[in-house]
A and B are shown apart, each in its own frame.
Chain A
Amino acid sequence: SQTIHQWPATLVQPVGSPLSLECTVEGTSNPNLYWYRQAAGRGLQLLFYSVGIGQISSEVPQNLSASRPQDRQFILSSKKLLLSDSGFYLCAWGAMGSAFFGQGTRLTVV
């Protein structure tokens, strides 16, 4: 069966520091991969998605970037965090018209 791992679960970072969130998927090949951000208790905003290695589509201009160095690895990065980058970040993989999510990372920028 397929599983998705996302870490860390929580992260507190100072303004101006770099960020790297990692997500890996097991049990499937060539999945579509996604990074979403969720405001407190509300819907999900699509940040990036990838249909293959090295192929990244960005949905909104922002202080973040994404990379897919391997088929089942998706990384969300920032060179310098802003206060507004705080939020709940979710990685997901997609197949058959459905998305399956990791446990999320709660990022607090202080």
Chain B
Amino acid sequence: TQLLEQSPQFLSIQEGENLTVYCNSSSVFSSLQWYRQEPGEGPVLLVTVVTGGEVKKLKRLTFQFGDARKDSSLHITAAQPGDTGLYLCAGARNYGQNFVFGPGTRLSVLP
């Protein structure tokens, strides 16, 4: 069974601070995605990384895919209250036929 672990589970920081959350697995994935989810809503895709070592930037968010395609990190610079939410990583398996999700990191950014 391919499992994804995420750390930390919970993170509470002040506005303006930087943070990094991690997604780790013992399995190799063809691609890995990051989502943000707000209460009562479906997850919203932030980014998909495909190539080992790949780095993608989305405004203040930087995503990195590990060289071995088993892990990923999400770094947020100068966090804002609007960044608050549940951050989920997911790995594509069976040639992208379906996806396995990590348990998520719940981020709270205090004004």
The answer to whether A and B belong to the same complex is yes
Contact bitstring A41-58, B, C-beta under 8 A = 1, else 0: 111111001010000010
Contact, CB under 8 Å: A97 / B40: no
- A-B pairs with beta carbons under 8 Å apart, 11 shown: A6-B42, A32-B97, A43-B88, A43-B104, A49-B98, A92-B42, A94-B99, A96-B48, A98-B48, A101-B35, A101-B42
Q: Is there an interface contact between A100 and B45, defined as CB atoms closer than 8 Å?
A: yes
Interface residues of A (CB under 8 A from B): 6, 32, 34, 36, 41-46, 49, 51, 57, 59, 90, 92, 94, 96-104, 106
Counting chain B CB atoms within 10 Å of each CB, the highest count among A34, A43, A102 belongs to A43
B87 CB to closest chain A CB, in angstroms? 11
Q: How many residue-residue contacts, CB under 8 A, span A and B?
A: 70
Instruction: State which residues 23-63 of B face A: CB under 8 Å.
Output: 30-31, 33, 35, 39-45, 48, 50
